[in-house]
Structure 1
Amino acid sequence: MDENRSSSLHFLTVAEERAETELKFTAECKNTAKIYAYDLSGKPYSDSFRDVLGVVVWAIYRRRNMMGHLSRLAIIEILPRFFKFLESVLIYRAEQLSGDTLRYFAEWLKKDKSLSYSTAASMYRKISPVFLQMSSHYKVSDSFIPVRNAFPKSNSLVSSCIGYDQEELKGILNAAVRGMRESASKFEKTYQPKWIGIAPPLEDVAPIGPSGSRSYWASEEYRIWWWENNCGCMRLNSNALYKLPKGQAFFQSTALDGKNGSVKYLSEFYDRIGAGPDYKPKYLGLPCPINYRTPWKKKDYLVWYWENKLGCRALSGSELKKIAPEFWGALKEYFGGRIKDCYKELGVYRWVQAEDLIPYYLLLLIRTQLNPSTVQRLTIDCLVPDPLNDGRVMINWKKYRSFKKGMTIPTDKGNDGWPAMIIKRVSAITESIREDGQDELWIANTNRFKVSQPLGSSAFKRALQAFSRKHALTSSDGKPLSIQARLIRPAMAWSEYLRTEDMNYLQALLGHARLSTTADYLRRLDDPIFLTRRAVHQDAVFVRLSSAEDGSLISESLEASESTQGMHEALLNHCRDPLKSPVSGQKTGSLCSASSEVCLGCQNLIITFLDIKKYFCFIAFHDYLLQVGDITDLEHRKATSEKRFIWENYILVKYDSGVIERIRSEALTFPIPEWDISLYEERKHG
């Protein structure tokens, strides 16, 4: 066992050294388990920076089990900027790399006018793991560590997006429904054969003559038609016939056994059809009963042949050339060699393109609110029964870099089983072009290789743009709208939030791990609902104070005030009935444990003069802590920003300004013990 382990380690070491030397390697994608080859030996910077590039390739290869294919490609795309920076600071060897190098690189990216701050930060974060791995190489200094928080975020650099507004989303949804109906008319209709088991339609096709080839003159009906319309139904002799156009051919065709024509055979023809004074014409003045010299010129025969000989299979041109060359040649005459036009006329569609599947893709995004990349990676076996409920199925989807599992959905239409229905319909459409071993849900065969391949993210992007142009989608300002799949989820989430006003539901739809993230998202949007929720509830009670009242009332204790007896004191307010809290998650009969910010939006809220004094003491105390450096600016904002917003905008404005100033003065002069600055300093210094 030790020998096997030693040989494995030796093999890995050799592979890493080979990658560093040759600047190329193969690695498996940790997400898809597919093998990809990477070659950086031909890059423009491979000669000047070969020593540094070797270490970079070594680091990428060493992280092979921790990166996917797309992550490697993203890093390779960033490398030209990194080497451009190294060239500007005259670093060409791995031994010259140090911690200062990465610090200067971060500053260099910030000053790059072609990059936005967020783009530069994204580049730095993507390549940082490779830098960290490079620091373990024997050529590179141990100080070659990426700078922590090199691109700090601020609220001004973070923006929230609600996706599409209601009118835009309605237009996208209507276009998706129209597109799905169009695709369904092409791909979800089963071809109904017309000629299976029926004799070929050859009644108006020239039969095979004695010579073995098809000829109009081999048809008795054609001879009768020609005789009636060219001979006036008279029994002309051979001399008279020879004077007529095609008369000689008619005379020769009367010999049924292929021999030369003769008067005898001509007379037998006249007798056979009953030519004479009492003859009644069949085709006089009518079109020729034989319309085709060969059945390959008749469309009905082509359809008959396709149904009976080719099994109604939508074969490709190359397949038809091998199996039925005559059929393929006939198609060229009627459809210019375009087999696609032939199948389109029959109502059969062999070629499935990304644009045909986009309506289903959009509706699935709208119905499930999953990430676009998650929907794109669905497989044909992603629908599995729910082990806990027979009436429901689960969508078994993958989300990279996440421990989230699939979602359970109902199977009946009454409970919105659309997602399962859409997946089944897409699977049925692509079944005819699916090759052995292909389990991807989204595949097409209109690529330049004419083979079935799974659709990538770029194919979805191009198809969405084509879909937008086809349906002439416009934004609310009248400009052309190009659909972006990543905006569907926030658009649907925002729509549901406006309908339910449920922040927890919005958190689930957006996939936020913490409710505070959702709150920040809404705050950046200046959401009116969120602002209202942050406001004081309309049923809140304010113990009134006016400047005309006795000033001693301000200093009275809560227990001595008759107007507030029986109420529960909270941090900065009082509660009407803490055992019957209307706050979500609180149980009746148990004391409410909601935070102060939640209290300020609760209908049980009561504000007294003592609460106003506590507020001023609280703010002054935290301002002092920030001033002396005992708390950070972030801690100060978390403690005071929400409270300051509601108190300054909704509570203090309800009271007489003179009374508020007197309470503020008393709070600074005689603060309550919990937020007394002098007591804090005494305890602090012992």
Structure 2
Amino acid sequence: MKTKKYTTLSILLAGEVRAEKDLRFTIECKNTKIVFEYDLNKTKYGTKFQKIFSVAAWAIFRRRDAQGHIARAHTIALFKRFIDFLESIDLYNIEELNRSTLSHFAAWLKRDGDLSYATAGSMYRALTPHFIQMSKHPSVDESFIPIRNAFPKSTALSSQVGYDQDELKDIVSAAIKGIRASAARLEKQYEPTWLGRPAPLEDVATIGRHGRRSIWATQSYRIWWWENNCECKPVNSTALFRKPGGQCFFNSLSTSGIGSIALLNRFYDKIGAWDAYKPSFLGKESPIKYRTPWKKHDYLIWYWENHLGCRPLSGPEAKAISPEFYGAIREYSGGRFREFFENLGITRRIETSDLIPYYIMLLIRTQLNPSTIQRLTIDCIIEDPIDKERASIKWTKFRSNKTSTTIPLDQARDGWPIKLIKRVIQATRFIRNDGMTDLWISNSNPQKISKKLGPSTFKKGLQIFSAKHQLKKTDGSLLSIQAKLIRPTMAWAEYLRTEDMMYLQTLLGHSKLTTTADYLRRIDDPVLRSRRALHQEAMFTGLSTKPAILASDAIVETANNLKIHETLLNHCKDPMDSPIFQQRTGVICSVKHETCLGCQNLIITHADIKKYFCFLAFHEHLQQSGDISIDEYNRAVSEKKHIWTEYILPKYDRAVVERIHTEALESPIPVWDIALYESERQ
């Protein structure tokens, strides 16, 4: 009996050594359990960065359980951009990497004209865990740690707002229209015509004495020939032989192939040719139209229904299952298998565009993450063991390594998600190969084989769908559907309906309530904005400060009187005792800084006012210089601007605010210093 082998520490360490030495390694994806091979030797740089790539391979292998294959492949692609940077500054030695290197790398990304400010920041943050892992290698300086806030901006800068109600209504309408069009092609149930009935061989030649079909072996053809060539008269053999085909007729009466007078007279007796004969085929076309049944279309349908299971087949499948059927389509129907089945009202070719409407409706109806829906399988529907009328959808979210179920089905709840999944399974049943469990599959690729749809395919499919239905934004510009925007849109709609954050957290499958709150924070809705305000226990220092005192002096005075802690844009009473849900006492608060403005631990000082004006001016400069778009600028500052202008600044003396504003412009904080930022871009 074989025993299961477990990975030991020595095996893992040996794997790290091999990865560092060979720059090649294999890792099992933590999500799909598929083993992938990675080779960092295949780069354009050759051996110039051999040692750096060795450490990179070592770091990637050590983080094998922290990423899935897609994220890991993305990290490797981004790391090559880091190598581009190192080549631009002629840095080739691993020992020269330090904190300053990463600082210059951030500035290099900012200067890249092909990257937006938000994209550059996203790339830098994606590489951060990898750089930290590299810093733990003995050959790398311990200071090789990414600088914090290298791309000074709010996290809201990269957040996306959802769709408004009119836009969502148009999307739903287009999706329903698309489902109807797809259903007419893919979900139509084929009604058999010949199933269980005798083969339609009435006009097909009979099998002759040599085992082959022959028109002369068919009695109806003999009668037709005799009526139209002998004027319905029982002529003798001599007269028969003078007529074209007469000898063939005479000999066909015998199973041996040699006719006789006796057999001829027996033929006449059988059809009643001696008396007043009533012709059946005189002046008509031959009753035998086909020498072989494979030339007859109805016979092909009969054979397909009775022997091939009424299932549309591709050419290779038909060839493997029934060479005769395959040969008949190839020889007598032009080899057009797709056309043959489409004439029957069924199709075997499924385009990505056929499935996109179902995908959109599942996004809207379930509020699940797009990647989660893309990874659904055909066995994801789980029936209730007690109540057969109820079912749920089992799903897995790879990024958070989370598996759960959602969408219970009964008369009182929404059964659309279950129905949509069943309809997709029904639509793809003909192209699903044995062992293929992925829900979303298509065979519209050049190879014409069934494959799972990938993320890029869904993204392109949504773009094509948007263009096809000419979707427009509220402002009249073109709207291209993004799956990631539907989730926050539906979250906002459900919150307006219920105002229950706990319900919304359960619906979205979030483990932290702060994540759910972040979805609502992204929505720039005037109703939600009006509900945002400061907590009644928030503190404001320096309300009685004279205008002459600078913000930098005021913070020193405040710090001497209060035990406060500085955060990004404000101060906190005690970050070790956060009142935010799911934050533990004694552990430093980990929520995003956008949450601070509504927290009861909030403290606002003169220094925070200066930081606010520096933050605002810096982002105005980014927008004016084209580093970020107007939408990105609004997402970064709109909420903060609303809270500060409506609730914070009015509490302070106007002269104090103006003095701090002037100081912020003349002597900005380094992290939001426009002059420093521009000098780094040069």
TM-score, shorter chain, exceeding 0.5? yes
The answer to whether 1:513 aligns with 2:496 is no
Deviation of residue 8 (structure 1)? 3.5
Deviation of residue 289 (structure 1)? 1.5
| Residue correspondence of structure 1 range 285-684 to structure 2 within 5 A | 285-384=283-382, 393-402=391-400, 406-430=404-428, 433-434=431-432, 437-447=435-445, 451-471=449-469, 473=471, 475=473, 481-496=479-494, 513=514, 517=518, 520-522=521-523, 525=524, 527-533=525-531, 595-596=535-536, 619-620=543-544, 626=551, 628-629=554-555, 630=558, 634-635=569-570, 645-646=645-646
SS of 1:282's equivalent in the other structure is coil
- 2:663 — aligned with what? none
Range with greater deviation from structure 2 (376-385 or 497-506): 497-506
SS of 1:395's equivalent in the other structure is strand
Contact 2:203–2:287, Cα closer than 8 Å, also in 1: yes
Deviation of residue 33 (structure 1)? 2.1
SS of 1:66's equivalent in the other structure is coil
The answer to whether 1:273 aligns with 2:208 is no
Once residues 618 and 642 of structure 1 are traced to their aligned partners in structure 2, the CA distance between those partners, rounded to angstroms, is 21
Deviation of residue 43 (structure 1)? 0.9
Contact 2:381–2:394, Cα closer than 8 Å, also in 1: yes
Deviation of residue 482 (structure 1)? 3.8
Deviation of residue 214 (structure 1)? 1.5
Deviation of residue 183 (structure 1)? 3.8
Contact 1:45–1:80, Cα closer than 8 Å, also in 2: no
- 2:82 — aligned with what? 82
Deviation of residue 241 (structure 1)? 4.4
TM-score normalised by L of structure 2:
0.73
Once residues 262 and 384 of structure 2 are traced to their aligned partners in structure 1, the CA distance between those partners, rounded to angstroms, is 87
SS of 1:25's equivalent in the other structure is strand
Where structure 2 has 5 or more consecutive residues not aligned to the other structure, the ranges are 560-565, 572-596, 605-640, 656-682
TM-score normalised by L of structure 1:
0.73
Once residues 94 and 350 of structure 2 are traced to their aligned partners in structure 1, the CA distance between those partners, rounded to angstroms, is 51
- Shift in alpha-carbon separation, 1:490–1:516, aligned structure 2, 3 A: closer
Once residues 157 and 202 of structure 1 are traced to their aligned partners in structure 2, the CA distance between those partners, rounded to angstroms, is 73
| Letter of the structure 1 residue corresponding to residue 221 of structure 2 | Y
Higher relative contact order (CA 8 A, sep 6+): 2
> Can you list the C-alpha shifts for 1:299-341, whole angstroms capped at 9, x where unaligned?
2222222233334444443343244222111112343223233
Contact 1:225–1:284, Cα closer than 8 Å, also in 2: yes
- 1:201 — aligned with what? 200
Contact 1:396–1:405, Cα closer than 8 Å, also in 2: yes
Contact 2:19–2:25, Cα closer than 8 Å, also in 1: yes
- Shift in alpha-carbon separation, 1:203–1:121, aligned structure 2, 3 A: same
- Shift in alpha-carbon separation, 1:277–1:221, aligned structure 2, 3 A: same
Once residues 245 and 386 of structure 2 are traced to their aligned partners in structure 1, the CA distance between those partners, rounded to angstroms, is 84
Report % sequence identity.
Answer: 50
> Can you list the C-alpha shifts for 1:238-279, whole angstroms capped at 9, x where unaligned?
5554554444433443x3334334555444433432335722
Contact 1:489–1:509, Cα closer than 8 Å, also in 2: no
| Residue correspondence of structure 1 range 231-246 to structure 2 within 5 A | 231-238=230-237, 240-242=239-241, 244-246=243-245
Contact 1:392–1:408, Cα closer than 8 Å, also in 2: no
Deviation of residue 533 (structure 1)? 4.0
Once residues 648 and 321 of structure 2 are traced to their aligned partners in structure 1, the CA distance between those partners, rounded to angstroms, is 84
| Letter of the structure 2 residue corresponding to residue 213 of structure 1 | R
| Letter of the structure 2 residue corresponding to residue 259 of structure 1 | G
- 1:98 — aligned with what? 98
Deviation of residue 519 (structure 1)? 6.2
Deviation of residue 415 (structure 1)? 1.9
- 1:180 — aligned with what? 179
| Letter of the structure 2 residue corresponding to residue 73 of structure 1 | A
- Which structure has the larger Rg? 1
Contact 1:59–1:134, Cα closer than 8 Å, also in 2: yes
> Can you list the C-alpha shifts for 1:168-197, whole angstroms capped at 9, x where unaligned?
433332332233334444444544444344
- 1:127 — aligned with what? 127
- Shift in alpha-carbon separation, 1:387–1:97, aligned structure 2, 3 A: farther
| Residue correspondence of structure 1 range 35-54 to structure 2 within 5 A | 35-54=35-54
Once residues 190 and 156 of structure 2 are traced to their aligned partners in structure 1, the CA distance between those partners, rounded to angstroms, is 59
Aligned length, in residue pairs: 572
- Shift in alpha-carbon separation, 1:10–1:498, aligned structure 2, 3 A: closer
| Letter of the structure 2 residue corresponding to residue 205 of structure 1 | V
> Can you list the C-alpha shifts for 1:339-394, whole angstroms capped at 9, x where unaligned?
23333334454454543332222111110111101111223343346799997544
- 1:226 — aligned with what? 225
- 1:27 — aligned with what? 27
SS of 2:422's equivalent in the other structure is helix
| Letter of the structure 1 residue corresponding to residue 174 of structure 2 | A
Contact 1:30–1:67, Cα closer than 8 Å, also in 2: yes
Contact 1:99–1:146, Cα closer than 8 Å, also in 2: yes
| Letter of the structure 2 residue corresponding to residue 356 of structure 1 | D
- 1:18 — aligned with what? 18
- 1:213 — aligned with what? 212
- 1:62 — aligned with what? 62
Contact 2:377–2:439, Cα closer than 8 Å, also in 1: yes
Deviation of residue 56 (structure 1)? 0.9
Deviation of residue 86 (structure 1)? 0.9
Once residues 223 and 464 of structure 2 are traced to their aligned partners in structure 1, the CA distance between those partners, rounded to angstroms, is 59
Deviation of residue 215 (structure 1)? 1.6
- 1:580 — aligned with what? none
Range with greater deviation from structure 2 (118-127 or 346-355): 346-355
- Shift in alpha-carbon separation, 1:204–1:135, aligned structure 2, 3 A: same
Once residues 449 and 432 of structure 2 are traced to their aligned partners in structure 1, the CA distance between those partners, rounded to angstroms, is 9
Deviation of residue 141 (structure 1)? 1.3
Once residues 470 and 203 of structure 1 are traced to their aligned partners in structure 2, the CA distance between those partners, rounded to angstroms, is 49
Contact 1:383–1:393, Cα closer than 8 Å, also in 2: yes
- Shift in alpha-carbon separation, 1:6–1:290, aligned structure 2, 3 A: closer
Range with greater deviation from structure 2 (370-379 or 474-483): 474-483
Contact 1:302–1:327, Cα closer than 8 Å, also in 2: yes
> Can you list the C-alpha shifts for 1:469-511, whole angstroms capped at 9, x where unaligned?
5555555566665432222223334445666677887777776
Contact 2:392–2:409, Cα closer than 8 Å, also in 1: no
| Letter of the structure 1 residue corresponding to residue 230 of structure 2 | C
Once residues 239 and 430 of structure 2 are traced to their aligned partners in structure 1, the CA distance between those partners, rounded to angstroms, is 63
> Can you list the C-alpha shifts for 1:521-541, whole angstroms capped at 9, x where unaligned?
34xx2x322354469xxxxxx
Contact 2:488–2:520, Cα closer than 8 Å, also in 1: no
CA RMSD between the two structures: 4.0
Contact 1:354–1:444, Cα closer than 8 Å, also in 2: yes
Deviation of residue 45 (structure 1)? 1.8
| Letter of the structure 2 residue corresponding to residue 306 of structure 1 | W
Once residues 646 and 57 of structure 2 are traced to their aligned partners in structure 1, the CA distance between those partners, rounded to angstroms, is 55
Deviation of residue 108 (structure 1)? 1.1
Once residues 355 and 169 of structure 1 are traced to their aligned partners in structure 2, the CA distance between those partners, rounded to angstroms, is 19
Deviation of residue 109 (structure 1)? 1.1
Deviation of residue 436 (structure 1)? 5.4
Deviation of residue 515 (structure 1)? 7.2
Once residues 321 and 427 of structure 1 are traced to their aligned partners in structure 2, the CA distance between those partners, rounded to angstroms, is 26
| Letter of the structure 2 residue corresponding to residue 281 of structure 1 | P
Deviation of residue 91 (structure 1)? 1.0
| Letter of the structure 2 residue corresponding to residue 9 of structure 1 | L
- 1:671 — aligned with what? none
Deviation of residue 447 (structure 1)? 4.4
Contact 1:507–1:518, Cα closer than 8 Å, also in 2: no
- 1:162 — aligned with what? 162
Contact 2:156–2:522, Cα closer than 8 Å, also in 1: no
Once residues 197 and 156 of structure 1 are traced to their aligned partners in structure 2, the CA distance between those partners, rounded to angstroms, is 65
